[in-house]
Amino acid sequence: MSSRRTAWCGLAAVSVGALVLSCATGCGSEEPESLDALVARVVDASPGRADEYTPPSRAHAREIAAGVVDLLTAGGADVSSHEAVAVAASGGSGESFRALVERGDPMRGDGLYVVRPPESSPAPLVVEAPHPVADLHSEHLAAALFEQTRARALLVAGAHRTAGDGAGDAAHRADSAFAAVDGALVDAATTVVQVHGFGSGNHDDIGEVVLSSSTPEPSPTVRHLARVLGDHGFTTCVYDGRACAALGATTNVEGAAARAVGADFVHIEVDERIRGDRGIRDAFVRILAEALESAA
């Protein structure tokens, strides 16, 4: 894990159209970190595939989740292990976000949580990346989708899915901070888009993109996304209880939580060719973002 060179600012107060930063170590007039750089920094400092990792206590996971809610609704958060920071959009749009970032390097692996300020009228959409690095570039695909969809929150897991002998697998562990934040943000009005990745060499004849509601009955949103992606030349497979069943997300804990509250859950698996080529990935995100907007 690389050491970081910059001291990061804590978010002290937010007013409409302005973010006021205070720095314990003298950040001066430094510009906010870009979202892409922040995602890379957090992932780089978090437990890797063979590292030790222990899920947080239930109380600590609840504290982090409450902090994300406070950040989303009030612009600030008081979490002992994290700091609230201002984040700049990576695409140069000038848009600003707020993020709850774990302190320290290395980090214990509780994840990264980014929100749009309420004055920007975010959409009832939550974008998630539970397997950063393990599903290579899925975290950056999710971050780009967050930026382009007006989603209200981006959740990126901290630990590699195999860290702590599998304890870091945020899509299959209900005791993670990631799952706690998901549970605090998702209600019946929410659409959750969870981004994963697969290698076509490991899954023959299922195309480039697999879409699932995590149940045998695909939702209208899942079917709509599959049609739009197909119209743009991406080969898709929709899990319907039979097709592409190995990637159907039937044991996904965030999918189960979404069903429990009546939310729309979209599990999307993206082939390594799309994730690994920046040009193709950018085009894919634009199409997916437009499809999500038209599905609303």
* Structural domains of the chain ordered from first start: 10-295 (3.40.630.100)
**Least reliable range by pLDDT among 38-47, 70-79, 156-165, 199-208:** 199-208
Percent of the chain scored above 90 by pLDDT?
81
**Least reliable range by pLDDT among 18-22, 115-119, 217-221:** 18-22
Look up the pTM and report it: 0.89
pLDDT tens across 68-97, in order? 999 999 888 999 899 999 999 997 788 999
Q: Which whole number is the average pLDDT over 270-281?
A: 94
Contacts of 265 (CB under 8 A, 6+ apart): 191, 192, 194, 213, 214, 219, 252, 254, 255, 258, 259
Contact 38, 96 (CB under 8 A): no
Contacts of 291 (CB under 8 A, 6+ apart): 224, 225, 228, 229
The mean of the pLDDT values for the chain is 89
Using alpha carbons, select from 177, 198, 204, 163 the residue that is nearest to residue 58.
177
In this prediction, residue 52 has a pLDDT band, given cuts at 50, 70 and 90, of: very high
pLDDT at site 203? 63
pLDDT at site 158? 93
Using alpha carbons, select from 107, 163, 159, 128 the residue that is nearest to residue 252.
128
The span from the CA of 17 to the CA of 173, in Å, is 38
pLDDT at site 82? 94
Bridge pairing between strands 18-22 and 10-15 = antiparallel
pLDDT at site 201? 65
In this prediction, residue 11 has a pLDDT band, given cuts at 50, 70 and 90, of: very low
In this prediction, residue 222 has a pLDDT band, given cuts at 50, 70 and 90, of: very high
The span from the CA of 153 to the CA of 253, in Å, is 18
pLDDT tens across 230-252, in order? 999 999 999 999 999 999 999 99
pLDDT tens across 154-164, in order? 999 999 999 99
pLDDT tens across 1-10, in order? 433 333 333 3
The span from the CA of 222 to the CA of 246, in Å, is 17
pLDDT at site 92? 78
